[in-house]
Structure 1
Amino acid sequence: MHYFVYILYSSKLDRYYIGSTENIDTRLREHLWNHRGFTAKAKDWTLKYSETFLGKNEAIKREFQIKKWKSRIRIEKLIDANS
């Protein structure tokens, strides 16, 4: 089974959200319609970036690596380099 790290963007909040999941489409729908927490603050999230991993542990490690950057510029460079 594949796992994904994804980056969402909300223009309303002008913020990025980083997460990991087994199914990006289902997870995005959850963020948009049936979610509590940070992403519930906006309903305009769009997928800007994703990476695929063979294992859940690798995806989670990558998710936390990106989150530790705490740098919008670095996240945007990652997105731009892969678009």
Structure 2
Amino acid sequence: MLRSEKDRSFYIGYTSNLENRVKKHQLGYSRYTRTKRPWKLVYFETFDLKSEAIKRERFLKDQKNTTFYESLIKNWSGSSVG
């Protein structure tokens, strides 16, 4: 989960290479994230299976709730999940 330092919005996605994905967002490769740079990585989880990661991504996107996201980030230990 990335958070825009420009407008405080969130971006949620999955990837097999977190460092590369964040870098591409910072460089403006994504049309959606380009105008909201810079971004800060505020939360991530790891999963063994791509299908699990996609399922979790969909769940998080369905929340559409800043309070939920902020609570998740606040209580995050930075460790892996899944």
Greater CA deviation, 32-41 or 46-55?
32-41
Match of 1:19, SS state, is coil
Matched with 2:23 is 29
Tell me how far apart the structure 2 counterparts of residues 36 and 8 of structure 1 sit (CA, whole Å): 13
Q: 2:5 aligns with which of 11, 24, 36?
A: 11
Tell me how far apart the structure 2 counterparts of residues 72 and 42 of structure 1 sit (CA, whole Å): 17
Tell me how far apart the structure 2 counterparts of residues 65 and 72 of structure 1 sit (CA, whole Å): 14
Tell me how far apart the structure 1 counterparts of residues 7 and 35 of structure 2 sit (CA, whole Å): 8
Match of 2:43, SS state, is strand
Tell me how far apart the structure 1 counterparts of residues 37 and 9 of structure 2 sit (CA, whole Å): 12
> Quick check: which one's strand share is greater?
1
Number of aligned residues: 77
* TM-score, length basis structure 2: 0.88
Greater CA deviation, 32-41 or 70-79?
32-41
Unaligned ranges ≥5, structure 2 = 78-82
CA RMSD, 1 decimal:
1.1
Following TM superposition, where does structure 1 have runs of at least 4 consecutive aligned residues deviating by more than 3 angstroms?
none
Q: What amino acid maps onto 1:43 in structure 2?
A: R
Sequence identity percentage: 39
Query: Would you say 1:20 and 2:10 are equivalent positions?
Result: no
Give the deviation of 1:62 after TM superposition: 0.1
Q: What amino acid maps onto 1:66 in structure 2?
A: L
Matched with 2:80 is none
Unaligned ranges ≥5, structure 1 = 1-6
Query: Would you say 1:78 and 2:72 are equivalent positions?
Result: yes
